[in-house]
Structure 1
Amino acid sequence: MNNKIVVIIGGPGSGKSTIIEYLTQKGYSCYPEISRQVTLEAREQGIDQLFLEQPLLFSELLLKGRINQYQAAKHEDSKFVFIDRGIPDVIAYMDLIGDSYPEMFTNACDEHRYDHIFLLPPWEEIYVSDSERYESYEQAVQIHEHLTKTYSGFGYNLIEVPKDTVEARVDFILSHLEK
């Protein structure tokens, strides 16, 4: 399939999942964030915070899941496929915590290239923490900075989505894609 894979990135609580849910409701092919699923599966196995307790294992599971999403997206029969977070997110988080990681992480970023990256800025007014999102707003800002640096470092042109209603944000994204 000759579709375009579009990734929505940003720190926690910036509205990514809300945009993906809205695009899904509008009939677009979308893939949700998988870190919550990985976290919940670890809890079922007795690991309360896998990211904090075993960050490399958590990152390896995310990498595998995001590569699977990428490969599945390539086979979608849609003009655009939207994904909540991409493969370079894994590296951004590992860099944030100062963890080292095997070369397979950077190789995966080089081998699986996305067509468009839309960046959602930190937005304190909509930020909410919950049982899977343990970061403070200040940490969300730091994550945003690492995401920007990481994706830019892999040569991506980041398109910042303005803070607005979900409908206006989706319209902004779709209008950029139709150019």
Structure 2
Amino acid sequence: MSMSPSLRIVLSGCSGGGKSTLLAELARRGHRVVEEPGRRIVIEEQESSGTALPWVDMAAFARRAVEMARADLAAVAEHPGPVFFDRGLIDAASALEHAAGIPLAQTLADGPHYASPVFLTPPWPEIHSTDAQRQLDFAAAVAEYERLLSAFPASGYAPVVLPRASVADRADLVLATLKAG
């Protein structure tokens, strides 16, 4: 039996908005989590001197992210409980549309892939930072967030924008929203 999309929960939103920290809190509370495809790809590409990096070849990066997000979904297909994803296929499809013009609906035609609602972290300049794997400056991160704000509803998902709050409060809100749904 494969996992119902209702048990696949996406955390998305602004780069540097606290998604990974929230994912770590959900893992600490005993939930299954899947790390962000983009960061894993960047690490692999940097270690192999590859060029599928968002700041070198965004289209190649987005194609890899689509493949990895699909593999992530397949890897947890038999997991009986909820799984929280740090980004996922919709994020990758949005990046692919932006970079290569491939329509979102074409990449996501075999959906739905996740539960609705999806949870978005908004731009939060006070916590945004860059590092070796996340080189998007704040303006580019906000532009990406704006694309995602359109991509999720266009793909049939209802976004819930999380407040700028403590990680514990955000985790409580995500879990309460899921229980209420």
* TM-score (ref. length: structure 1): 0.89
Q: Shift in Å at residue 96 of structure 1?
A: 4.0
Q: Shift in Å at residue 57 of structure 1?
A: 1.9
Alignment of 1:70 with 2:69, yes or no, is: no
Q: Distance in 2 between matches of 1:57 and 1:96?
A: 12
Q: Which residue number corresponds to residue 171 of structure 1?
A: 172
Q: Shift in Å at residue 125 of structure 1?
A: 0.9
Q: Deviations along 1:58-107, whole A, 9 cap, x unmatched?
A: 112111110111122331121x210000211123223444x323x6x644
Q: What SS class does the counterpart of residue 118 from structure 1 fall into?
A: strand
Q: Which residue number corresponds to residue 137 of structure 2?
A: 136
Change (3 A) 1:49 1:65: closer
Percent identity, please: 26
Q: What SS class does the counterpart of residue 60 from structure 2 fall into?
A: helix
Q: Which runs of 5+ in 1 are unaligned?
A: none
Q: Which residue number corresponds to residue 128 of structure 2?
A: 127
Q: Which residue number corresponds to residue 110 of structure 1?
A: 109
Q: Distance in 2 between matches of 1:14 and 1:42?
A: 24
Q: Give the count of matched residue pairs.
A: 175
Q: Distance in 1 between matches of 2:126 and 2:15?
A: 13
Equivalent of 2:95, from 80, 93, 102?
93
Note if contact 1:121-1:144 (Cα within 8 Å) is conserved in structure 2: yes
* Higher normalized helix content (fraction of residues): 1
Q: Which residue number corresponds to residue 48 of structure 2?
A: 45
Q: Which residue number corresponds to residue 59 of structure 2?
A: 56
Moved more, 55-64 or 44-53: 44-53
Q: Distance in 1 between matches of 2:143 and 2:170?
A: 22
Change (3 A) 1:71 1:107: farther
Q: Distance in 1 between matches of 2:49 and 2:76?
A: 32
Note if contact 1:5-1:73 (Cα within 8 Å) is conserved in structure 2: no
Q: Distance in 1 between matches of 2:49 and 2:93?
A: 25
Amino acid at match of 1:67: R
Q: Shift in Å at residue 34 of structure 1?
A: 1.7
Q: Shift in Å at residue 46 of structure 1?
A: 1.6
Q: Which runs of 5+ in 2 are unaligned?
A: none
Q: Distance in 2 between matches of 1:70 and 1:47?
A: 25
Equivalent of 2:35, from 32, 37, 42?
32
Q: Which residue number corresponds to residue 82 of structure 1?
A: 84
Q: Deviations along 1:94-128, whole A, 9 cap, x unmatched?
A: 3444x323x6x644423132113111111111111
Q: Shift in Å at residue 55 of structure 1?
A: 2.2
Q: Which residue number corresponds to residue 153 of structure 1?
A: 154
Q: Distance in 1 between matches of 2:90 and 2:52?
A: 21
